[in-house]
Copies of this chain bind each other. A is one copy, B any other.
Amino acid sequence: MSACSMLVLLLHICCCFALCRRPPKLREISWLLFVFFSSDIEISRAQSPKAVDVLAKEIGLLTDEVEIYGQTKAKVRLSLLERLKDQPDGKYVLVAGITPTPLGEGKSTVTIGLVQALTAHLNINSFACLRQPSQGPTFGVKGGAAGGGYAQVIPMEEFNLHLTGDIHAITAANNLLAAAIDARILHENTQSDKALYNRLVPVVNGVRGFSAIQLARLRRLGISKTDPGTLTEEEINKFARLDIDPSTITWQRVVDTNDRFLRKITVGQANTEKGFVRQAQFDIAVASEIMAILALTTSLQDMKERLGKMVVANDKKGEPITAEDLGVTGALAVLMKDAIKPTLMQTLEGTPVFVHAGPFANIAHGNSSVLADKIALKLVGEKGFVVTEAGFGADIGMEKFFNIKCRASGLVPSVVVLVATVRALKMHGGGPNVTAGAPLKKEYTEENLQLVADGCCNLQKQIQITQLFGVPVVVALNVFKTDSPAEIDLVCKIAKQSGAFDAVPCNHWSAGGRGAVKLAQAVERAANQKNNFKYLYSLELPIVEKIRIIAQKVYGAQDIELSPTAQSQVDRYTRQGFGNLPICMAKTHLSLSHQPERKGVPTGFILPISDVRASIGAGFIYPLVGTMSTMPGLPTRPCFYDIDLDPITEQVKGLF
């Protein structure tokens, strides 16, 4: 315990004094001491989670709706949706944020603090729905991602490691499809039509027949025959050759590891692949389209259809090639059959949490699953609350939540909680750079009302963005120990002046649910407000027009500008019949504009669209605003230097 941290502790106790207008009790002080000198994993471990079957019973799950995974995790079967289909949904709360610093502003802790307040302190049924974090960053720069302090999901090591295997299932499915693409190109290039056909439709035990997925392909090709012996040579050619153009392959392999050396690779260099080398890449597993599908799907049938529709390349005539064309839809669905069930865990205060899906917030939509939200909305009942979280700032995560996720689910959100911090607002007001790993400058640790006041423009703008969708917004100011009471009051005042239904300081990190009770009360009141929820654009508009609406109305851009590549992709997708999909912008989260260094509320910029891609199975078009990294790297000293396992107690050390 350094002199420095002792000083900060004393400061913190004084702040408590100032905020609560009374001396802190002894119990509080000793508890503060514990908070102060404990890492997230120590706090997590200090609280024994209740057995997950007990939790499942508490929230009204039937025995055959639960699949237990160890003592603290369970998968919940989708059959529950059928059983409770006539039950009215609870209130649906989205937690979004202002434009963050690279350190993040605490949306996950607010989400967890809020449900802890609702359920453990106000006796209102509630559920938090969170994204499953990628394992890559856990061992790279970032460490764990289960909330933090006294607003955590426990056990945090389970949350941050394999969980119930969903990301591993995605990796397996994604890579089976990738392997199928290259193997198919090889086999087509090295065989005659006849040989190819004979292998694709072999004689088995004296009988020759098409498999179900082959019959479906024949139907798509307009061939109504079912006897393999009757196809003409031309039909055999059409059926057996996908004629994939290797230069158009958009399907990449994935690993859930930060492996920068896989960002660009050449595959197929062994002799057995006969010279069919090509350049390819690995993405981090959560960037797989299959993850986006898992997050947006509404049933097993729907997931299977989406998996089949995924476009992986074009053929040499420019027509899309799908997973279904490769004959792999059923196998992908089989690999994903358990991943589709949300995982039940609990907060530090024993309230229920669903952890399910975690699509990339840049090239995908960055929201947890529709299915977890739907199941949770049934479980909490009409007066209960489901709190779900959108990645990045409200300009990205929330916009996608409304225009993509709510469209897929048909659900109507009741309230948006917009998370702000004094730290991020000061940055928007002109404070110095904030970088991960480097100590914060004094502007962030000392009171500076001017920086706060100037930076509130970003908060105001994000409130206005929320209002575009007609949903009431409550600002949650995530209080840090260095925030002064005057700074806190100022933010809340400006937030309310800017149209927020309410603005509340929150101390859930240090106080758990008790620190978010006022937020919970504000959210409850806001949920009873009139709700005018609407999407921002109609799907029928041309792709370019939809992009322009988001750029202008949400980001505040003057206009957009498409590169020739982007324009030709728009034309291609429109011609291929994919023009009516929603838009999933791939833009930096560190600015409302495309330039991460432009803080506050940038204006007068033209948003450059360098490329346009599509996730047809997930169901969106994603324009690239600049380059997006889809594979993080390991730094010189990765987190894993501190991670260890005690072989006697079996406890994990060093996750934080």
Contact = CB atoms under 8 A, between A and B. Distances in A.
Interface of A: 2, 4-5, 67-71, 75, 135, 139, 157, 161-162, 165, 168-169, 171-172, 175-176, 178-180, 182-183, 186-187, 191, 196, 199-202, 205-207, 211-214, 253, 255-270, 272-273, 276, 279, 281, 299-301, 304, 327-331, 333-335, 337-338, 437, 633-638, 640-645, 647-648, 650, 652-655
Can you list the 9 inter-chain pairs with the closest CB atoms, starting with the nearest? A330-B644, A168-B168, A331-B640, A263-B270, A179-B259, A199-B636, A301-B647, A264-B270, A183-B634
Given A337-B652, A437-B202, A645-B304, A182 B263 contact: no
B334 A652 contact: yes
14 contacts: A68-B68, A68-B70, A69-B69, A161-B335, A162-B338, A172-B256, A179-B257, A253-B255, A260-B270, A263-B269, A300-B645, A304-B645, A330-B645, A337-B650
Nearest to A206: B4
A98 to B, nearest CB: 27
Nearest to A4: B206
A219 to B, nearest CB: 16
Contact of A269 (B165, B265, B330, B331): B265
A157 B270 CA distance: 33
A642 B215 CA distance: 12
A638 B253 CA distance: 19
A211 B437 contact: no
Contacts of A71: 67
Given A212-B644, A270-B264, A205 B2 contact: yes
Contacts of A253: 255, 259, 262
**Number of copies of chain A assembled together:** 2
Nearest to A299: B647
Contacts of A257: 172, 175-176, 178-179
A265 B270 CA distance: 8
A122 to B, nearest CB: 33
A647 B340 CA distance: 12
Contacts of A139: 176, 331
A648 B69 CA distance: 23
Contact of A260 (B183, B207, B214, B647): B183
A653 B330 contact: yes
Contacts of A329: 644
A269 B282 CA distance: 12
Given A272-B633, A335-B161, A634-B183, A644 B437 contact: no
Nearest to A300: B647
Given A179-B258, A263-B272, A645 B334 contact: yes
B179 A634 contact: yes
A200 B279 contact: no
Contact of A178 (B214, B259, B643): B259
Contacts of A266: 265-266, 269
Contacts of A634: 179-180, 183
A213 B644 contact: yes
A50 B324 CA distance: 36
A36 B310 CA distance: 38
Given A171-B255, A172-B256, A180-B638, 19 more contacts: A67-B70, A69-B69, A135-B172, A162-B338, A165-B168, A168-B172, A171-B171, A176-B257, A182-B259, A182-B260, A253-B259, A261-B267, A261-B273, A264-B270, A265-B266, A265-B267, A331-B643, A333-B645, A333-B647
Contacts of A654: 330
A162 B169 contact: yes
Interface centre among A69, A201, A641 (most CB of B within 10 A): A641
Nearest to A326: B640
A204 B329 CA distance: 49
A257 B301 CA distance: 25
B207 A2 contact: yes
A595 B634 CA distance: 44
